[in-house]
Amino acid sequence: MAVDLEKLEQLLTNKLREKFGDAIRDVSEYRGELSVDVDREVVLDVCRMLKDDPDFQFDHLSYVSCADWSAQGKTPRYTVYWDLYSVPRTHRVRVRAAVPEEDPTVSSVTSIWRSANFMEREAFDMFGVIFQGHPDLRRILMPDDWEGHPLRKDFPLGGVKSFYFKRATDPGAGEPPDLIPRIRRQESDI
Amino acid sequence: MDIVIDAPGKAEDKAGAGVLTLQSPENALTKTLSEAISYCRRNSIWPVMMGLSCCAIEMMGTAASRFDLSRFGSEVFRPSPRQADLMIVAGTVTKKMAPVVQRIYDQMTEPKWVIAMGACSSCGGMYNVYSVLQGVDEVVPVDMYVPGCPPRPEALIYSIMQLQKKIRQEPIYLFN
Amino acid sequence: MATRVVEHNYSNIESMTLNMGPQHPSTHGVLRVILELDGETVTKCTPVLGYLHRAKEKHAEFKTYHQFIPYTDRMDYLSPMSNNTAFVMTVEKALEIEVTDRCRYLRTLLCELARMSAHLLAVGTGALELGAMTVFMWGFTQREKIYDIFEFISGARFTVSYMRAGGVAREDYPEWRRRVREFLDGYMNTQEEMEAMLNENEIFLQRMIGIGKITGQDALNFGLTGPSLRGSGIDWDIRRDTPYLAYEEADWEVAYETEGDCYARFLVRMREMRESWRICCQMLDKLEKHSHERMNIDNPKVIFPPKDNVKKSMEDLIHHFLLASEGFKVPSGEVYHSIEAPKGELGFHLIADGGPKAYRLGVRSPSFVNLGALEHMCVGELLADVVAIIASLDPVMGEVDR
């Protein structure tokens, strides 16, 4: 079932531009995949239209995540992207929205696809982007008291310091736990 | 056949406090009680189910049909740490998981041993990152390190055999 | 949703909170579930993840594309061949590389063997958690044979690191093909025995039928993929709908069931193993036919030259050195590629910046998204059924937490 990319690109451009005007920045094609760049204010409405319009029917949300452009010095700092797939029409599209560093918020699409729940929590955990309207935006992979967002480019691979689990040798960790009393007692007995 | 245990109390007998005698009409077997207990201990090491990641699959493979860990008396994988003697830490210990591993080790009854299975639990392995503990020996004392990513079942069996040798050499104190 | 709600008036009794995991024999690793119970009925179910977070996505930004291949092995550690394939196909898409026919057939064969191995474990441990030990042992006997096949071609039992962008690490050889043929000839026997053991087992059926129901629309909305989705009557398989590798050339069918309960998902897995076996047999024939052809693409900038040539030819030595020390560069751009892994849609979202390392690599892991539906499926069920539901979703924690 080959998908006619040019036709889909035309459809996307016409229908979205007609409804949202300049809020649709660009519709581009790369390696056989279509990307729609939109303003972050209209993300929710664009997604709802992409799901409900009979020409698109994007009923499966594949992936939500984020990229941090600070290593390349680009502004705005973050890009949040949604990979959509249509099961009946077997075509794909990617929606992208730029999110600035000062106000890292974007609307949540959990009201459209409930699969966004975990993936948005992960993006929040890893990048610190806040999804407004998410029912339960907590950390998902890192411990709740973790500081920092690991996939940001300014977070080093090895971590800043041992946040969560303190080694016995760390300053302020207190007395090391007496893990081997059995062996010690025996030695003193001898 | 009946078992006779001599009373302890000999001043020079530090290691084995008593003598176990198995008597039968045909033959008699005499061992110190500590040796008999050590024999039982090392041939019925029950591991706690501590499968964390990829190594857990090899640990299951070791217990399953082809490699058959029960030949060495260790096939009874116990989900409850209170019924186990050995913790095979099979897989990556993350910093979020480390307190749990420590808690489970503390819940095990004495005597207890630990095998760090695979590169991750021995030294962090290929994950030198913010979220992974660099070796399980930071939280629990480890008796055997098994190299490999993951180690083959033969390697795990060999480590259990080495552990049995080690247990054989450990002194046993009955009354202290 | 609620199929077996026990009607009691517990208004004067406080609900009980029960913690399950992270060290629990039936949570497939380190999944932790916090359950709120009303009597024995689950009223709330919160999965807590992250006990196996190994930061693979962060690693990808610090490793070259070649160096990252072993990390993909350890994501879904039941089917490393599929993970390897998904990753290298993403890189190939970004590089605009087409692999050779022989390589496509070999990859398809290995992916399907990996699917059989993963489903054998899923069915085996699922039955083990409901009290049937035999199927687990039979499954492992066959899995060991598949491991031997992987070991003969890649050198490792299951962390294979076998696929490369533009080809594979080593070529297949006649003795290996003979071993695969021998395995495939003997496999169906076990499959039939397993089906006879479980499909008419009264205890097994009572624990599975009608448990953890989810409708097709809900399943799609929750992002379920793979056997979990096809158990709910949605006939969607990436292998057929957006074909990759050599699936178009094989004669096979998509297995799906309409009930949407644990038993339907179990049946889908059983039937998928049969279909995988069919694909394997056809791919092996095709591989025999194309065995004289070239395996890897002819592009020394991407794929390692044969080791023999490195010792003889200066040019190959230079290419080998450059690839090993620097890696190949991927043109700047953003691609997403997904394949049908045993657990569902496994996708890699690659943002390349023109260098030898990925700028950002996102992993769409099926187990992670599938677990999102756990609460929906568990609420209203009995406590003992949570185990069956988790087993029927078949999450692998290495892939959930990555």
Spell out the domains of chain B, with CATH numbers in brackets: 2-41 (no CATH), 45-166 (3.40.50.12280)
Residue A187: per-residue pLDDT: 43
Q: Is-cis flag, bond preceding B147, omega within 30?
A: no
Mean pLDDT computed over A17-26: 85
Q: What integer pLDDT is reported at residue C13 of this predicted model?
A: 63
- The CA-based diameter of chain A, rounded to the nearest angstrom, is 89
- Interface probe with A: pick from C348, C369, C401, most Cβ of A within 10 Å: C369
Q: What pLDDT does A179 receive? A: 39
Tell whether C88 is covered by a domain.
Answer: yes
The number of C-alpha atoms within 13 Å of A165 and in the hemisphere containing its C-beta is 23
Residues C1-13, mean pLDDT to the nearest whole number: 55
User: B128: nearest CA in chain A?
Assistant: A158
- pLDDT above 50 for B26: yes
**What was the pLDDT predicted at C85?**
92
Provide the domain limits for residue C276. 64-366
How high is the pLDDT of residue A182? Answer: 37
Q: Give the domain CATH number at C170.
A: 1.10.645.10
Does residue B169 belong to the interface with chain A, where contact is any CB pair within 8 Å? no
pLDDT tens digits along A59-68: 899 999 999 9
pLDDT at C36 over 80: yes
Read off the pLDDT of each residue in B77-95 and give the average, rounded to a whole number. Answer: 88
Mean pLDDT of chain A: 80
pLDDT of B8 above 50: no
Helix (H, G, I), strand (E, B) or coil at C345: strand
| C-alpha to C-alpha distance for A87 and C235, rounded to whole angstroms | 9
Specify the number of domains making up chain C.
Answer: 1
Q: How far is B63 from chain C (nearest CA, A)?
A: 9
Q: Do the domain assignments include residue C277?
A: yes
Rama region for C100: left / alpha / beta (φ>0; ψ in -120 to 50; rest): beta
Tell me the average pLDDT across C21-32: 80
Please tell me which of the candidates B54, B91, B127 has its beta carbon nearest to residue C159.
B54
Residue C39 has phi, psi (to 5 degrees) of 70, -115
Instruction: Give CA–CA dist C91/B88, Å, rounded.
Output: 37
Mean pLDDT confidence for C340-352: 91
pTM: 0.87
Residue B175 confidence (pLDDT): 56
Sign, CA dihedral B145-B148-B149-B150, equals negative
Segment C374-392 shows an average pLDDT of 89
- Residue A186: pLDDT band with limits 50, 70, 90: very low
Buried-exposed string C124-140: b where 16+ CB fall within 10 A, e elsewhere: bbbbbbbebeebbebbb
Mean pLDDT of B102-107: 87
pLDDT digits (tens, 9 = 90+) for C252-305: 989 888 888 899 999 999 999 999 999 999 999 999 998 888 888 888 888 888
Mean pLDDT of C36-46: 87
To test the contact with chain A by mutation, choose from B130, B134, B166, B173 the residue with the greatest count of A C-beta atoms within 10 A, namely B130
Question: Is the pLDDT reported for residue B158 higher than 90?
Answer: yes
CB proximity list for C389: less than 8 A, separation 6 or greater: C211, C212, C262, C374, C377, C378, C381
Task: Name the residue facing B57 among C30, C77, C137 (closest C-beta).
Answer: C77
Average pLDDT, chain B: 80
Task: Say if residue A175's pLDDT is above 80.
Answer: no
Smallest CA–CA distance, residue B1 to chain C, in Å, is 37
Calculate the alpha carbon distances from B82 to A117, A176, B105, C83, C106 in Å: 38, 24, 9, 38, 48
Within 8 A of B104 by CB-CB distance, chain C residues are 23
Q: Give the neighbours of chain C: at least 3 Cβ pairs within 8 Å.
A: A, B
pLDDT digits (tens, 9 = 90+) for B27-41: 556 667 778 888 888
Q: What is the mean pLDDT of chain C?
A: 88
pLDDT for C89: 92
User: Which amino acid does the sequence have at B8?
Assistant: P
Q: At residue C339, does pLDDT exceed 60?
A: yes
The amino acid sitting at B12 is E
Shortest distance between the Cα of B49 and any Cα of chain C, in A, equals 7
Q: Would the pLDDT of B5 be above 80?
A: no
- As a whole-number percent, the residues of chain C with pLDDT over 90 amount to 31
Which CATH class name applies to A5-146? alpha beta
Backbone angles phi, psi at C92, to 5 degrees: -65, -35
For the CA atoms of A116, A119, A123, A124, the dihedral, rounded to the nearest 10 degrees, stands at 70
Q: Within a domain: residue C136?
A: yes
Q: Which residue has the tokens 């962060």?
A: C58
Closest Cβ–Cβ partner in C55, C335, C371 for A33: C335
Confidence of residue A177 (pLDDT cuts 50, 70, 90): very low
Please write the tens of the pLDDT for every residue from C171-218: 888 999 999 999 999 899 989 988 888 888 888 888 888 888 899 888
Q: Are strands B47-48 and B86-90 parallel, antiparallel or unpaired?
A: parallel
Of C57, C236, C353, the CB nearest to A72: C353
Between B147 and B49, residue with greater pLDDT: B147
In a domain, C54, yes or no: no
Within 10 A of C397 (CB to CB), how many other CB atoms are there? Answer: 29
For chain C, give percent helix, strand, coil, nearest 5: 50, 15, 35
| Tens-digit pLDDT profile for residues A140-168 | 888 887 878 888 888 888 776 544 455 55
DSSP lists the bridge partners of residue A107 as A132
B2, B23 Cβ separation under 8 angstroms? yes
| Exposed e or buried b per residue across B138-150, where buried means at least 16 C-beta atoms within 10 angstroms of its C-beta | bbbebbbbbebbb
Query: Could you tell me which of C64, C74, C25 has the C-alpha nearest to residue B118?
Result: C74
- Per residue in A55-93, pLDDT (tens digit) is 888 889 999 999 999 888 888 889 999 999 998 888 889
Residue C187 placed within a domain: yes
Banded model confidence at residue B13, pLDDT cuts 50, 70, 90: very low
Q: Is C402 part of any domain?
A: no
Average confidence (pLDDT) over C52-76? 90
Q: What is the pLDDT of residue A7?
A: 86
Q: Are strands B113-117 and B86-90 parallel, antiparallel or unpaired?
A: parallel
pLDDT of C18 higher than 90: no
pLDDT at A82: 92
d(CA A25, CA A6): 18
Interatomic CA distance for residues B38 and B42, integer angstroms: 6
Q: How far apart, in whole angstroms, are the C-alpha atoms of residue C352 and residue C359?
A: 5
B170 reaches A (C-beta below 8 A): no
Contact, C349 vs A63, CB < 8 A? yes
| pLDDT exceeds cutoff 80 at C11 | no
Domain extents in chain A: 5-146
C293 located within any domain: yes
Smallest Cβ–Cβ distance between C54 and the set B50, B132, B152 belongs to B132
Q: Do B54 and C25 touch (CB under 8 A)?
A: no
Please tell me the distance in Å from B2's CA to the nearest CA on chain A.
Answer: 32
Q: In what order do the strands lie in the sheet with B2-5?
A: B2-5, B19-23, B28-32
- C3 pLDDT tier (thresholds 50, 70, 90): low
pLDDT value for C83:
92
Give the other-Cβ count within 10 Å of C192's Cβ.
11
